[in-house]
Structure 1
Amino acid sequence: MSSPESDPQEPGPPPLPAPTFILYFQGPQYAEALRQLTLWAHHVLLPVYGREITSSAPWCSRWWEHPEAVAQLHGLWLAWTELTGPGSGPSGPANWHRDYLLPVMASLRDPSGPFAGCKPGAHRRKESPPVDFLDPFGPPSATA
Structure 2
Amino acid sequence: MADEEGVPDFEVPVGLFQDLEDLKAEVARLSAQVKSLTEGVGADAGEALADDDADAGDEAEEGAAEDEWQFPPFILLLDPPQYDDELRALIEWVEGVLVPGYLGEPTSDSRWCHLWFEHSVAVARLHALWLAWQELTDPATCGYTGPSVWHRDHLDPCMRELRPSSGPFAGCTKGEHQIDHRMPGTVPSAWRQGT
* Residues 1:47 and 2:100 are matched in the alignment: yes
| Aligned counterparts, 1:110-121, within 5 A | 110-121=164-175
The structure with the largest helix share of the pair is 2
Q: Which residue of 2 aligns with 1:102?
A: 156
What is the aligned residue count?
119
Q: Compared with structure 1, are the counterparts of its residues 99 and 18 closer, same or farther at alpha carbon in structure 2 (3 Å cutoff)?
A: closer
Equivalences for 1:26-45 in 2 at 5 Å?
A: 26-45=79-98
Supply the distance in 2 between the matched residues of 1:120 and 1:46 (Cα, whole angstroms): 15
Residue 126 (structure 1) aligned with residue 168 (structure 2): no
Deviation at 1:120, TM superposition (A): 2.1
TM-score by length of 2: 0.57
Gaps of 5+ in 1: 1-13, 136-144
TM-score normalised over the length of structure 1: 0.76
- Measure, in 2, the Cα distance between the counterparts of 1:121 and 1:72: 23
Cα root mean square deviation, aligned: 2.0
Report the structure number with the largest CA radius of gyration.
Answer: 2
Percent identity (aligned): 50
TM-superposed CA distance for 1:106, in Å, is: 1.0
Give the Cα–Cα distance (whole angstroms) in 1 for the partners of residues 144 and 80 of structure 2: 37
| Structure of higher RCO (CA pairs closer than 8 Å, 6+ residues apart) | 1
The 8 Å contact of residues 72 and 131 in structure 2, kept in 1 or not, is answered as no
Q: CA deviation at 1:101?
A: 0.2
Counterpart pick for 1:75 among 128, 131, 134: 128
CA distance in 1, matches of 2:71, 2:131: 14
Moved runs in structure 1, 4+ residues, more than 2 A?
A: none
Q: Is the 8 A contact 2:139 2:146 kept in 1?
A: no
Deviations 1:9-65 (A, max 9, x none): xxxxx9xx5661101101110000000000000010010101120001111000000
Report what 1:9 is aligned to: none
> Which position in structure 2 is the counterpart of 1:61?
114
